[in-house]
Structure 1
Amino acid sequence: MPARRLPRPHRFDVLLAAGGLLGGLLLVAAGLGTRRSDDPITLFDGPWPVLVPLTVMAGCELLRRTAPRTALAVAGVTITADLVTQGNVSTILMFTDVVYAAVLYGPLASARRIQWITGLLTVAGTVVPFAVWRVPEALLIGVIVGVVAYGPAATGWIVRDHRDAAEAARLRAEQTALLAEADRAQAVTAERARMARELHDMVANHLSAIAIHSTAALSLDDPATSRRSLAVIRENSVEGLAEMRRLIGILRDGSGDREPAAAPTLDGLRALVDGARANGLDVSLDADHGTLPTPVEFAAYRIVQESLTNALKHARPGRVTVRLVQRDGALDLRVLSPCGHRDGPRAPGSGAGLVGMRERTALLGGTFAAGPEGSRWSVHAVLPLAEGESA
């Protein structure tokens, strides 16, 4: 199994390492160190022992982003070794950057531990020397430890906190954008479905009548029947064309100046039934209800309209009954039409009518059923009034 290779150092880390190493070499060449050669702590005199911690610390800088914990562990040993030489300011500065990077780029648990460890070292570096030597100058050791160790760790924690907050804000913004896009797509889909239902309900009735009566006019050699069929065809084509123009005008007019036509209500059921009778249906209407919410009236009107259109296209001759009853906080709507083989001409159907009626009922939280009941075809919808008021 091949050994795992460490990722390549970041370009900025390479520049930091090169700059720190070059700066340290210039300080060594100038004979500038952090301690004198006669300092008791200096065990290795001369400029050359300083180069070992300097070079190792520069190598730690290369790992500050790709392996921050390893870099900090090696840097801790290196800065301790630097204490027994004449020292180098560049080594100390690179160590502070390694501590800062370990908190910023390392795991969260390690970042917290580094905060605690450097804080305890600062306290210990302040209390212990003062307790041993009893001179105010001993407190400077704690200050130096705080500046070299705890200061970079605290700075890295602050930067990390701001970075994480910015990342969380970015993720929230992306999530908000995704939700907005989902809402927009859902709104577009719902609007397209609504337009499809409206277009179907407004025009299908007229086109069905035109198809049936034109078929009758072509198949029957009776001038009187043909004239009546042509009159029905003309009336339905004119009404359908007017409704199509109105709908197209609303869709094209983006200025908002054109008001859409008022939604049909159950007050127009009588005219709807009269139109169905003019198209050849034998329709009876029984409506027993009070004041209803507008969404319920609109849905009920469209369901009755589509039921009569389906009866015109598919039902055999016979009585079609429309019954609306308000009870138990709901409007109970039922349309019954003769079911069976139709001898005369019939118009083709797409099946979208039942889908539209079911969707209208579901939007109000009601129930819908359509199917044969003995020798009759039944359309039954229950529209809750409470749902209608809140829709």
Structure 2
Amino acid sequence: MPQSTSRGFDAAAPLNTAERIVLLVVVAAAIIATVLSVALGGEPISSLVILDVAITAIFAVFLISPPLAVALLALAMVVAFLSGYDGPAFAALSVATAVVVRMCSMRVIVGFTGLLLVAAAAIAIVRPSKPVEVGVGLLVAVIAGAGGFLLRSARGREQRLAAAAKEQAAVMDQVRRDERLLIADELHDVIAHDLTVIAMQTRVMERQRDPELLAQTQREIGDAARRALRDIRRLIAPGHGEAQPERIDDFETTLAEMETTLRAAGYAPDVTADLSQPLPRLVDAALARVLRESTTNIIKHGRVGPVRIQVGADAQSARLRVSNDYSVPRVRTGLPSGGFGSTRLAERVDVLGGEFIQATEGDAWVVRATLPLA
């Protein structure tokens, strides 16, 4: 059944399925009991019987619109006064307190309470012979209201727990996504580089005839394989991501490592470094990742020849430029490229307020990263 859209401030949680079924069963049972009583008693169906059934049926209207149900109860109470049926109608109004407190907003509850008191006062004034009936009705209203409040509180707590569980599940999903992204970052930024070096050095070995250079290439392959294995063990170790140090080195160490890697792969690196002051840790790590990714891409897809690495910093920013000459014929390596690394680098640099550019300039493939220091 549709929920009411007219509930005001402090509206109660909607009825659950069990509460709906109980309300409908009670209403149906009361109507059936009234009809059977009239039928078995051999009495004709009078206007009072119709009014009784109508008042009982109004309880089902709470499932559609609580304010409308309260308004109908008020109208029924007026009709009951005019027909002399105010006693039973007041009793039904008292019982309805449970449903009103359970379902309605504070505004509707206040209005219903006013209706109940006005009805009680009217009966006491118009029917002074029924003080006990009014007192019992008010007592029933208090008890019914307390029951409705307990049901309201229980349902509200149920919804809060469900919302908290849903929020916790969303947090856990986000944690899992962050962890997968962290692992993907490290696989790409660190392990993929080592595997690329191994693949390239293996190709170099196939063409290498110099025993000394062959031995150096074998050492490079062994070192890269050991680094990759160590990093894989670190990634799959319990507690990864909790106070685990990153294997990405500082920029200075990465620069020396990448220069050695490029030379071993047959490139001719030309390094110009002008860092007059230490870089902030986040900027230093970001530049190291950009340099590592750029070197990996050059080994995968670049031309074996000159590679220019220029890095500098002043009071405002740190700048890195990596270029590979396109004029040299390309050697196809067959190594795959997913484009993930460049995208993640651009995001990482953007978070730090910097600029990341990867483009072709003349006969060169160029990567530029600029990160603010102030």
Give TM-score scaled by structure 2 length. Answer: 0.70
Aligned ranges 1:20-31 → 2 under 5 Å? none
**Partner residue of 2:281?**
294
Root-mean-square deviation (Å): 4.4
Aligned ranges 1:69-218 → 2 under 5 Å? 69=70, 70=72, 73-74=75-76, 77-78=79-80, 81=83, 93-94=91-92, 96-98=94-96, 100-101=98-99, 104=102, 111-123=109-121, 144-145=133-134, 147-148=136-137, 167-218=155-206
Given candidates 7, 14, 22, the residue that maps to 2:28 is 14
1:348 and 2:335 matched: yes
Identity %: 21
Larger Rg: 1
The verdict on how the C-alpha distance between 1:102 and 1:191 changes in structure 2, with shifts beyond 3 A counting, is closer
**Partner residue of 1:359?**
347
- Structure 1: runs of 5+ lacking an equivalent: 1-6, 30-47, 131-137, 387-391
Counterpart of 1:367 in structure 2: which amino acid?
A: E
Counterpart of 2:224 in structure 1: which amino acid?
A: G
Q: Say if 2:318 and 2:372, in contact at 8 Å, map to a contact too.
A: yes
Given candidates 203, 224, 244, the residue that maps to 1:240 is 224
Deviation at 1:99, TM superposition (A): 5.7
1:334 and 2:321 matched: yes
For the residue of structure 2 that corresponds to 1:336, the secondary structure is strand
Deviation at 1:255, TM superposition (A): 6.3
**Partner residue of 2:60?**
65
Q: How big is each residue's C-alpha offset from its partner over 1:16-66, in whole Å with a ceiling of 9 and x where there is no partner? A: 5567899x99xxx9xxxxxxxxxxxxxxxxxx89x9857853663354234
For the residue of structure 1 that corresponds to 2:279, the secondary structure is coil
Counterpart of 1:282 in structure 2: which amino acid?
A: A
For the residue of structure 2 that corresponds to 1:369, the secondary structure is strand
For the residue of structure 1 that corresponds to 2:188, the secondary structure is helix
1:249 and 2:259 matched: no
Deviation at 1:282, TM superposition (A): 1.9
Aligned ranges 1:254-293 → 2 under 5 Å? 254=238, 260=245, 263-268=248-253, 269-283=255-269, 284-293=271-280
Counterpart of 1:272 in structure 2: which amino acid?
A: M
Q: How big is each residue's C-alpha offset from its partner over 1:262-281, in whole Å with a ceiling of 9 and x where there is no partner? A: 54112413233233323322
Q: How big is each residue's C-alpha offset from its partner over 1:322-345, in whole Å with a ceiling of 9 and x where there is no partner? A: 233233543222222212452445
Q: Say if 1:211 and 1:347, in contact at 8 Å, map to a contact too.
A: no
The verdict on how the C-alpha distance between 1:325 and 1:174 changes in structure 2, with shifts beyond 3 A counting, is farther
Deviation at 1:233, TM superposition (A): 4.4
2: CA distance between counterparts of 1:122 and 1:187?
A: 59
Counterpart of 2:191 in structure 1: which amino acid?
A: V
2: CA distance between counterparts of 1:344 and 1:365?
A: 36
- Structure 2: runs of 5+ lacking an equivalent: 1-19, 63-68
For the residue of structure 1 that corresponds to 2:215, the secondary structure is helix
1:321 and 2:335 matched: no
Counterpart of 1:242 in structure 2: which amino acid?
A: R
**Partner residue of 1:37?**
none
Q: How big is each residue's C-alpha offset from its partner over 1:238-261, in whole Å with a ceiling of 9 and x where there is no partner? A: 223222322232233326899556
The verdict on how the C-alpha distance between 1:298 and 1:375 changes in structure 2, with shifts beyond 3 A counting, is same
For the residue of structure 2 that corresponds to 1:245, the secondary structure is helix
For the residue of structure 1 that corresponds to 2:323, the secondary structure is strand
Counterpart of 1:319 in structure 2: which amino acid?
A: P
1:369 and 2:370 matched: no
Q: Say if 2:308 and 2:322, in contact at 8 Å, map to a contact too.
A: yes
Deviation at 1:75, TM superposition (A): 6.0
The verdict on how the C-alpha distance between 1:99 and 1:270 changes in structure 2, with shifts beyond 3 A counting, is closer
Deviation at 1:371, TM superposition (A): 0.7
**Partner residue of 1:43?**
none
2: CA distance between counterparts of 1:11 and 1:338?
A: 83
Counterpart of 1:239 in structure 2: which amino acid?
A: D
Counterpart of 2:203 in structure 1: which amino acid?
A: T
Counterpart of 1:316 in structure 2: which amino acid?
A: R
Deviation at 1:358, TM superposition (A): 1.9
1: CA distance between counterparts of 2:58 and 2:280?
A: 71
For the residue of structure 2 that corresponds to 1:115, the secondary structure is helix
2: CA distance between counterparts of 1:117 and 1:94?
A: 13
The verdict on how the C-alpha distance between 1:63 and 1:91 changes in structure 2, with shifts beyond 3 A counting, is closer
1: CA distance between counterparts of 2:115 and 2:136?
A: 14
Q: Say if 2:303 and 2:326, in contact at 8 Å, map to a contact too.
A: yes
Aligned length: 340
Q: Say if 1:65 and 1:105, in contact at 8 Å, map to a contact too.
A: no
2: CA distance between counterparts of 1:167 and 1:204?
A: 53
Counterpart of 2:28 in structure 1: which amino acid?
A: V
1:223 and 2:209 matched: yes
The verdict on how the C-alpha distance between 1:289 and 1:360 changes in structure 2, with shifts beyond 3 A counting, is farther
For the residue of structure 2 that corresponds to 1:10, the secondary structure is helix
